[in-house]
Amino acid sequence: MNAQLDAALAQLNLKPGETYRTRINGHVVEVRALKAAEAAEEPSPFEDQQMLDPWFVIPPTDAAQLVRTIRSERLLPSPVQLDESDLAPE
């Protein structure tokens, strides 16, 4: 996920001092570009917090259903046949 996030943030092309805000799941997320010197000096306010892994496994449940499919020809309705009477104004 870090590679995907890095790629997405690189597309923002933020210069030092610029910020980008967006709303995700009802929360406002802000990305701020720092100068390299500022980034080294300023500790993260989230340093003491544990990062959560967003990937999870959904436990099995009795409500789940298995659907088996068979590859075959598509079942489409017959085409509509129009004649001159259908094209005349009412």
Tens of pLDDT, residue by residue over 12-62, are 888 888 888 888 888 888 888 887 765 556 677 777 887 776 677 777 788
Residue 86 lies in a domain: no
Residue 77 lies in a domain: no
Write out the residue range of the structural domain in which residue 38 sits.
1-45
As given in the structure block, the two tokens for residue 17 are 């001092």
The whole-number pLDDT of residue 90 equals 67
Residue 6 lies in a domain: yes
How many domains does one find in the chain?
1
As given in the structure block, the two tokens for residue 43 are 């500790």
- pLDDT confidence of 67, banded at 50, 70, 90? confident
Residue 88 lies in a domain: no
Residue 33 lies in a domain: yes
The whole-number pLDDT of residue 42 equals 67
The whole-number pLDDT of residue 57 equals 74
CA-CA-CA-CA dihedral for 84, 86, 89, 90, to nearest 10? 130
